[in-house]
Amino acid sequence: MQLYNKLSAEERRLLIAEAGTERLTLSFYQYHQVENPQILRDHLFLHWNEMYVLGRIYVAHEGINAQLSVPAPRFDDFKIFLDGISFLEGVRLNIAVEQDNESFLKLTVKVRDKIVADGLDDATFDVTQKGIHLNAEDFNALLSQPDTVCVDMRNHYESEIGHFKGAVTPDVDTFRQSLPLIEQDLSQHKEDKKLLMYCTGGIRCEKASAYFKHKGFKNVFQLEGGIIEYARQVNEKGLKNNFIGKNFVFDERRGERISEDVIAQCHQCGAPCDSHVNCANEACHLLFIQCDSCCEKRQNCCSTDCQEIINLPLEEQRKRRKGKHNSNKIFKKGRSEVLKFKH
């Protein structure tokens, strides 16, 4: 019985090409009290592996968070399978704005303490006591009101390439950092302001809205389905698009273009650019923004040091990496001193 992925990314890439089948990139989440996450985890892997589903899925006692790539001909089977799990019946599926057959190259299902790390240790906090969900049209209406404070619940490297007009974009590395920061900044407006939040697909806002209600905010709203669903509704209904730039996504695409605006810049030369890359030096792997010109000149590296390393023989590179772990700066997503144009 296979319960874990056994193929490398390159092996999977070849299989996808050979299959010649279009794939759908989608995501979903659901907060729910899961009694035994490990049993659910194994159940999901067994069935999704048979369906050739790929992706990154987290299961915890508080629910499930899934980002997936599904063969288009198997979508109906996938949906029937989800509906057969009581708390996932009818769950909203966020279909990606831009499709890519290689958005995911492995099936990874992990049991975590929480599906969204929040740093909270409060037994009285109930994540199901969420705020009011808004569709794209209602979100636009509330966004335009003078007593609304719109807050981006994503991290700095996400909002850097795209955000809603007029939104507060906290300069944070993680979701857990944003909760106390926003509460502190808006502590004087718990009753007189409408707190309007958004994120990529809705999962962070769902928890954040419950958290801020728990902390005494009276008027808490969130964009249902996040930026992904907002873009779909805007295109489908011909609504005004108030999102500028790209929506950062956590797969091989790294971004979906929502508007033609380019609001970020290359972290190496300062030219207008919103394309994230990972440093080609496997011992670094830093995520940063790099334009085509710098990519060619720097060989997809974040620094001259990394560029020198990737031009060494492979055996020498492996020798240098042996016994070492990547620096924590990888998880700072571009906060490196070598990047001169990172704000």
The model's pLDDT over 166-208, given as tens digits with 9 standing for 90+, comes to: 999 999 999 999 999 999 999 999 999 999 999 999 999 999 9
pLDDT beyond 60 at 328: no
pLDDT beyond 60 at 307: yes
Share of residues in the chain with pLDDT > 70 (%):
97
Q: Kindly indicate the confidence band of residue 283, based on its pLDDT and cuts at 50, 70 and 90.
A: confident
Give the mean model confidence (pLDDT) for residues 244-270.
95
User: In this predicted structure, which of 215-224, 243-252, 315-324 has the lowest mean pLDDT?
Assistant: 315-324
Question: Bridge partners of 95?
Answer: 26
Query: Hey, where are the domains in the chain?
Result: 9-111, 132-237, 276-332
105-137 pLDDT per residue, tens: 999 999 999 999 888 888 788 888 899 999 999
pLDDT at site 327: 55
Q: Does domain 132-237 have CATH number 3.40.250.10?
A: yes
Mean pLDDT of the chain: 93
Q: Which residue has the higher pLDDT, 127 or 232?
A: 232
pLDDT at site 324: 67
Q: Which of 199, 205, 291, 301 is catalytic?
A: 199
- Catalytic residue flag (residue 199): yes
Which CATH number is 9-111 given?
3.30.70.100
Please report, as a single letter, which amino acid is at residue 71.
P
- Strand order of the β-sheet with 194-198 is 132-134, 220-223, 194-198, 148-152
pLDDT beyond 70 at 273: yes
Q: Which residue has the higher pLDDT, 238 or 325?
A: 238
